[in-house]
Structure 1
Amino acid sequence: MARMLGFFLLIAISANAQDTLTLKDCENLFQKNNLQLLSEQYNIASSKAAVIQAKIWEQPYISGELNFFNPNRKQLFDIGNKGQKAFAIQQLIYMGGKKKAEIEFAQSNVAIAELQYEELLRNLSYQLKTSFYEIYFGQLKIKQLERQIGQVDELIKEYSVQADKGNVALKEVVRLESLALSLRNDINDIQKSVFAYQENLQILTNTSEPILAVGNENELNRELQVPGIFTLLQLQQKAIEKNPNYLKAVKLKEQNEINVRWQKALAKPDLTVGGAYDQNGGAFSNQLTLTLGMSLPFKNKNRGNIKMAESMLTQSSVDIDQSKTSLSAQLATAYNNLKYQQNQLSKSLESTKNFDAVYAGVIQNFQKRNISLIEFTDFIESYNQSILYINEIKKQIILSKQTINYITNENIF
């Protein structure tokens, strides 16, 4: 009992040091403060810098030859009109489309980095929304249980007075206290979950205080009834068009196609073009020559890298098929779960539409001793489970909609 009281004291203390935020507030903080997003932006900048680097050609190479000692004239550094000096300049010319493939490969890395950023944004945004709604519905459950606890506590006070007078048995007071303790234990379990999601929301928004989720319950209830405007097949098509994880798989295949071309180009020899000047060491004085150079391609020295690139290309094709299959399965699960939960909510609301009136009547009849303690506690426990179940269905509907938005990368709901 002491540990339970200590837990609720902790809840009361922490409630005074919490930020009360809407989902929109959380999203704004997330966009502004999330450190993972800020870090990933540097990866995009790094990839763009690699494109600049890929466009740079090798610098020209220049060399010179100066006479150190002329034995005929017994002269050091004889580089005058009758001496000797020579200069040469060379430029490497990439052949076979090497440079073009290198630039395209670097540009594909930028596209992949941007998709990785979009994927990270999507993943973290999904975590933020699910955490927010877990907190929101957890708070609703706690609020409903606290209302019941308040009413049971009033009954305990009344029955304690009657027990002291000998009008009711002490065991009935104990039974009511046990019911209140059971309700508090339910709050304990829910609050632990709320604390965990509050921690996650703090990390995502980079805030120092736990967040209390607030929203318009009437708007939310209307939103719960909104039907889907797309069929499952249409949603699957949207996912193929916009899901960054799938698009990244497609882009990786394109990159591997570029890599195959690049590796084949690397097997081709490059050309070195240059010019040279020789004052007196050539066939005639002040000789100007054109120089050409190329390695002899007796063997393909890059064949291992070519085979590796071709294997990666084949694998990327399989990855695309796997990603498409995974998307379809995930969407089918979320879509079917949404339809099922909406059907369950409709049935539950219909069967429990008079619950509040019955609940108030049971409280009154118990106070008038028209029903027994066992009947009262059985009803409270049943009522409690029904209310928590309806809240859980509502949460699952919202989370299923968020999952569909997440997979399709579009605000369907």
Structure 2
Amino acid sequence: MFRKLFFLLLLFFSQTAFSQQNLTLSQCEEVFVKNNLALLAEQYNIDIAKANVIQAKIWELPYASGELNAINPPNKRVLDIGGQGQKALAVQQLLYLGKKKKNEVEFAKSTIIIAELQFEQLLKNLRFQLRQSFYNSFFEQQKISNINKQIANVDTLVKVYSQQAQKGNWPLRDVVRLQSLSFNLKNEFLAVQKSINDEQETLKIMTSSREGINPVVDDLALNNYFLKNNLPVADALLNMALENNPDYLSFLKIIESNVLMLKWQKSLSTPDLTLGVSYDQRGGAFGNQVNLTFGVPLPLWNRNKGNIKIAEAELEKTKRLKEQKITELKSQIENSYLTWSQKQEKYTQIIQSGTENFEVVYKGILQNFQKQNISLLEFTDFMESYNQSTLQLIEMRKQLILSGESINHIVNVNLF
């Protein structure tokens, strides 16, 4: 029953593979940048910030008012607005004082840079997630390939020795042991395939693609990770991050923006001036009177003190968050650098010990077991050890690359 279920799943995964598209990492990133819905939505924040600048530049519209005679009792006339009647007109314009309109525009402009940096930060985070899923999928497929090869060999042995056991030429318990080895391999296959399915789901969502993505990786690109031994020290990496990390740079721009906000709020405490011109046909001191009007609010109890204090508090808060971000970056870089150097050292030691002998020994053990030169116990013990060692080596390569990607992500510089 288990064998039938396994082959049905294997058939399903094989059919699914035909609907996959072969993409390199750069091709995958191109599709991601073009189609990712979160990125497309975030771009509108930049447009919103630019629109706020346009809105900030707009002055208040002139205000026009009028007064028309409704009833003239002495002459018993309605709407007497002719030459002997009465009408009054006025036009007023609000004039901003204290450079408050200029300060408002400068603050609005500062939000554009922040929106652009936030977009860059989202792009950086999503690209990091994409590259993680890409490499996870690639190395998990290598594990699948290795497990499939072993399953094919072991199932061939199970078939042969089952026939021999039926003829009484081979102990049935040995066949069961081989079947148990095959079951373990198939269980590992299903576990790894589940991991691939999860990564494929992530890649589809991030690229807005209906097809799966089969990662195509150049060996030379991998060697850039495996053979890298001249990575800058942690202090140099921190300096790179302070120059290039958009999350940190956004704090600097938010501080600048908050300074402009404080300046704007202080300028709002300056009263504005309303100027105007009015015409009165008969209601003034003399006929057809033209007047100059003006108005200034008296700053008795509203000097915008509350908003000024809010702006000051926001500025101080952002300064503290900037210092906190530096601490976070330093800690992240030190941890990522230590993780990468440890993995690099261990991987180099393993490679120098001669992993190329794995396949030679594997083929030799398989042939010797088929020739009955070694016992079943020796064969199964070796197969289990070989399988775990191979999978661990693939996992080590994957983790080494992901640790390098983590450093790239933090400093926002492609060091690998």
TM range (shorter): over 0.9
SS at match of 1:346: helix
Match 2:98 to one of 96, 99, 110: 96
SS at match of 2:33: helix
Asked if 1:392 is matched to 2:395, the reply is yes
SS at match of 2:373: coil
SS at match of 1:213: strand
User: Matches of 2:140 and 2:40 in 1, distance apart?
Assistant: 31
How far apart are residue 35 of structure 1 and its match? 1.5
SS at match of 2:39: helix
How far apart are residue 302 of structure 1 and its match? 2.4
Match 1:224 to one of 223, 226, 234: 226
How far apart are residue 204 of structure 1 and its match? 0.9
User: Matches of 1:34 and 1:105 in 2, distance apart?
Assistant: 30
String of CA shifts for 1:33-74, please: whole Å, max 9, x gaps.
Answer: 111212222221122111101100001111122233344444
User: Matches of 2:6 and 2:323 in 1, distance apart?
Assistant: 53
Asked if 1:410 is matched to 2:391, the reply is no
User: Matches of 1:80 and 1:160 in 2, distance apart?
Assistant: 119
Letter in 2 for 1:412: L
Letter in 2 for 1:366: F
Cα gap change, 1:35 to 1:285, in 2 (>3 Å): same
String of CA shifts for 1:74-121, please: whole Å, max 9, x gaps.
Answer: 444343444332221111111222212221222122222111211111
User: Matches of 1:405 and 1:119 in 2, distance apart?
Assistant: 13
How far apart are residue 343 of structure 1 and its match? 0.8
Higher mean C-alpha displacement, 11-20 vs 393-402 = 11-20
Where do residues 8-407 of structure 1 align in structure 2 (5 Å cutoff)? 8-217=10-219, 219-221=221-223, 223-351=225-353, 352-407=355-410
Cα gap change, 1:153 to 1:244, in 2 (>3 Å): same
User: Matches of 1:15 and 1:276 in 2, distance apart?
Assistant: 81
Cα gap change, 1:222 to 1:322, in 2 (>3 Å): closer
TM-score, normalization by structure 2: 0.94
CA RMSD of aligned residues (A): 1.9
Higher mean C-alpha displacement, 68-77 vs 321-330 = 68-77
SS at match of 1:410: coil
User: Matches of 2:244 and 2:147 in 1, distance apart?
Assistant: 42
User: Matches of 1:157 and 1:40 in 2, distance apart?
Assistant: 58
Which runs of 5 or more residues in structure 1 are unaligned? none
User: Matches of 1:245 and 1:219 in 2, distance apart?
Assistant: 28
SS at match of 2:409: helix
How far apart are residue 236 of structure 1 and its match? 1.0
Higher mean C-alpha displacement, 139-148 vs 81-90 = 81-90
String of CA shifts for 1:172-216, please: whole Å, max 9, x gaps.
Answer: 111111111111111111110000000110111111122221222
String of CA shifts for 1:355-376, please: whole Å, max 9, x gaps.
Answer: 2222222112222222221111
User: Matches of 2:244 and 2:151 in 1, distance apart?
Assistant: 48
SS at match of 2:258: helix
User: Matches of 1:218 and 1:321 in 2, distance apart?
Assistant: 40
Contact 2:225 2:404 in 1 (8 A): no
Letter in 1 for 2:375: S
SS at match of 1:230: coil
How far apart are residue 167 of structure 1 and its match? 2.7
Letter in 2 for 1:289: N
Contact 2:369 2:375 in 1 (8 A): yes
How far apart are residue 410 of structure 1 and its match? 2.0
Q: How many residues end up aligned between the 2 structures? A: 413
Contact 2:225 2:400 in 1 (8 A): no
Cα gap change, 1:78 to 1:161, in 2 (>3 Å): closer
Higher mean C-alpha displacement, 59-68 vs 220-229 = 220-229
Letter in 2 for 1:386: S
SS at match of 1:370: coil
Letter in 2 for 1:382: S
String of CA shifts for 1:216-236, please: whole Å, max 9, x gaps.
Answer: 235424542123442221111
User: Matches of 2:396 and 2:192 in 1, distance apart?
Assistant: 15
Higher mean C-alpha displacement, 284-293 vs 382-391 = 284-293
